[in-house]
Structure 1
Amino acid sequence: MNRREFLEATLALMIAPSAFAAGKPSAPGAVPRRKLGRTGEQISCLGLGGFHIGIQKDEAESIRLIRRALDSGINFLDNCWDYNDGQSELRMGKALRDGYRSKAFLMTKIDGRDKKTAAKQIDESLKRLQTDHLDLLQLHEIIRDNDPDRSFAEGGAIEAMTEARKAGKARFLGFTGHKSPAIHLKMLETAKKHDFRFDAVQLPLNVMDAHFDSFEKRVLPVLVREEIGVLGMKPLGGAIILESKTVSAPECLRYALSLPVSVMITGMDSMDRLEQALSVARDFKPLSEKEVGVLLAKTEKAAKDGAFEKYKVSQRFDGTVKHPEWLG
């Protein structure tokens, strides 16, 4: 896919945020919604990153952030069984009380690679999140070459996830990873060999990725073609991209949202950062080819060798490498 095709695909995903009836105009100041692959779901183009809402000193602040996001039109909530020793899920569970669960498209991730470990983590996540079901359940950190085969092996994690879906504990299934486009592609091919189709896939997409070992160039076209929901993440590369002094946070978000993603998940650990992201989303218009070219030209030199994509070239973001016991 070329840039023009990407822009056209992005426009095709966009849905009037208040308009689930055909022809109804977008509400002024609303967060746009987009299609989640073939699921029939409509989710906010921005997603609240789960790691970042578990780091506040006062859990009341975490709860305020989550509820402010939901009240402002962000309905996609990201989380993971291992984030902040479970605090991210515990705090989100408390935030989803008092009717807030009905406002959310709730996603969490598990690490277990065998069926027993994965099933245990699924149940623990449901308990922490105070819900009887997840809207999306994902297998976390597919970052090793053997992760696809291990996950789909007899007695592997995919069996636990499939059983969770059959039991009504999860509506849709996906996987996530940040290390290598080749491993993402292997996971998709392994799924095909087992007659399995993922509903969504999470991957890093940003202005630096476009230049180096690119998920945008290698994986994104496959997901678009197969109508698998695209969950973008790391639009600021964990804020490391901003250290390059080549682009601003709003530029990073606009670039990422201009790709054919269903949602762009980003860390919003303060009210200021939440409001900044909301401002970009509410006023969003896809970047033109010329604007994309300008941003890529500004970041090309800095992006060399993944200097500002530490998740690809180091173990800084590899939680399951630091804690192999989480895999089972």
Structure 2
Amino acid sequence: MTDSRRAFIKKSAKLAALAPMLSWAAASQESDSLGNVLPMRKLTRDGERVTSLCLGGYHLGFTENAKEAEAMVERSMELGIRFFDNARKYHGGRSEEYMGRFLTPKYREKIFLMSKAPDRTAEGVRRQLDETLKALKTDYLDLWQIHALQTPKDVDNRMRDGVLEVFLEAKAQGKVRYIGFTGHRNPKTHLHFLEFLDKRGLLLDTCQMPLNVCDPSFESFEKHVLPVLLEKEYGVIAMKTMAGGSMMGGRIDTTPQDIRTKDIPDVVAKTDLTLANLHQYVYSLPISSLCTGCRKLHEIEENVAVLQNLKDLSETDKERLIEIAKPYAGLIVENYKRVFA
């Protein structure tokens, strides 16, 4: 283990102790009128809790078959998922429309509903919020996030053009309960935005970012951003647990076509890593929820099974998984990242 990794582990352990809202031990399992609910973890400073697994909206929108989408939603609810992700313009709005048809009319009061706005201007995100609420058939979001911050300059431009003010306004008006931000390009972008917020004396509620076994070895969000978020008591939503599907290389049944190439190695097939390991590693971090992209019913079932049968990982276990994945870390597998000077 390197000195830098030891220092990170020590700092993370200290921060986790100071932030019990994020510790795995703080997860609780309960039920509602529909049945058993997956283990819950605290998301926000004021105590809002969500299921430890969140169904991603992007992959839901891949299918053009509405009955398939409905089956995915229904199975998610049956399995105890109560946290649902989306974003304006996922598949031209189809992802939000599916949830507006099959999720919110029946289950709005049972779920925690999140969506995101990618536009870079005040006028644009205000319009997108209206479109999102209409598509999802709800008059409020539980969480609305500034979506896909790209670079420090992108942060500066969006702030200059009033994006944050619209988010703060929407929260004040009750159109959204909580606000956050997302991004997957480079940890410097997140740190730049957090510094901007510090200068304004502001704290948002959540951050959604990539966390997986490859991440600690290349442009790491886990090493550089996670400790800062924990210190500020943000709810951390993990995404790209399987690097957007790239850890399965060119396997047609698991890897989205838009990132599937012959050059991406199948990390799971080439190593001792299992699909369960990939989720176990992320659950071992002090996160609030893991947002998973599923295109088939069996993928939801498999991901839920990992959570229901979760095995605690020691620091030695995590180090072993990181070392196995390390040769594959970088832009070929983590193809969503970018290197900044």
Q: Does 1:37 align with 2:44?
A: yes
Query: Quick one: which of 321, 327, 333 aligns to 1:301?
Result: 327
What's the counterpart of residue 58 of structure 1?
Answer: 65
What's the counterpart of residue 88 of structure 1?
Answer: 95
Aligned equivalents of 1:78 and 1:36: distance in 2? 14
What's the counterpart of residue 252 of structure 2?
Answer: none
What's the counterpart of residue 147 of structure 1?
Answer: 154
The alpha-carbon deviation at position 257 of structure 1 amounts to 1.0
Contact 1:208 1:241 in 2 (8 A): no
226-235 or 293-302: bigger deviation: 293-302
Distance change in 2, residues 1:58/1:196 (3 Å): same
What's the counterpart of residue 274 of structure 2?
Answer: 248
Contact 1:143 1:179 in 2 (8 A): yes
The alpha-carbon deviation at position 145 of structure 1 amounts to 1.9
What's the counterpart of residue 224 of structure 2?
Answer: 218
Q: What is the RMSD computed on CA atoms of the aligned residues?
A: 2.1
Query: Quick one: which of 209, 227, 230 aligns to 2:215?
Result: 209
The alpha-carbon deviation at position 291 of structure 1 amounts to 1.4
Contact 1:13 1:34 in 2 (8 A): no
**What are the superposed Cα offsets for residues 56-114 of structure 1, whole Å, 9 maximum, x if unpaired?**
13112112212221232111111000100000000011112443111211000001222
Q: Does 1:275 align with 2:281?
A: no
Aligned equivalents of 1:64 and 1:82: distance in 2? 22
The alpha-carbon deviation at position 19 of structure 1 amounts to 7.9
TM-score with structure 2 setting the length:
0.84
What's the counterpart of residue 335 of structure 2?
Answer: 310
Contact 1:30 1:282 in 2 (8 A): no
Aligned equivalents of 1:311 and 1:257: distance in 2? 21
The alpha-carbon deviation at position 238 of structure 1 amounts to 1.2
What's the counterpart of residue 174 of structure 1?
Answer: 180
**What are the superposed Cα offsets for residues 36-61 of structure 1, whole Å, 9 maximum, x if unpaired?**
03131111111101101111131121
What's the counterpart of residue 17 of structure 1?
Answer: 29
Contact 1:13 1:260 in 2 (8 A): no
Aligned equivalents of 1:35 and 1:13: distance in 2? 11
Q: Does 1:292 align with 2:292?
A: no
**What are the superposed Cα offsets for residues 86-143 of structure 1, whole Å, 9 maximum, x if unpaired?**
0000001111244311121100000122211110000000000000000000011101
Aligned equivalents of 1:63 and 1:140: distance in 2? 25
Aligned equivalents of 1:172 and 1:13: distance in 2? 24
The alpha-carbon deviation at position 224 of structure 1 amounts to 0.9
Number of aligned residues: 305
TM-score with structure 1 setting the length:
0.88
The alpha-carbon deviation at position 240 of structure 1 amounts to 0.6
Aligned equivalents of 1:267 and 1:170: distance in 2? 24
The alpha-carbon deviation at position 11 of structure 1 amounts to 3.2
89-98 or 195-204: bigger deviation: 89-98
Distance change in 2, residues 1:66/1:19 (3 Å): closer
**What are the superposed Cα offsets for residues 254-310 of structure 1, whole Å, 9 maximum, x if unpaired?**
11111111001011111100000010011113311221122112111121x333100
Letter in 2 for 1:213: E
281-290 or 182-191: bigger deviation: 281-290
Contact 1:39 1:199 in 2 (8 A): no
Aligned equivalents of 2:188 and 2:338: distance in 1? 14
Gaps of 5+ in 2: 1-7, 249-265
Distance change in 2, residues 1:186/1:160 (3 Å): same
51-60 or 215-224: bigger deviation: 51-60
Aligned equivalents of 1:198 and 1:97: distance in 2? 25
Higher RCO structure (Cα 8 Å, ≥6 apart): 1
Contact 2:114 2:144 in 1 (8 A): yes
What's the counterpart of residue 259 of structure 2?
Answer: none
Aligned-residue sequence identity (percent) comes to 36
**Partner SS state of residue 99, structure 1:** helix
Gaps of 5+ in 1: 21-27, 315-328
What's the counterpart of residue 320 of structure 1?
Answer: none
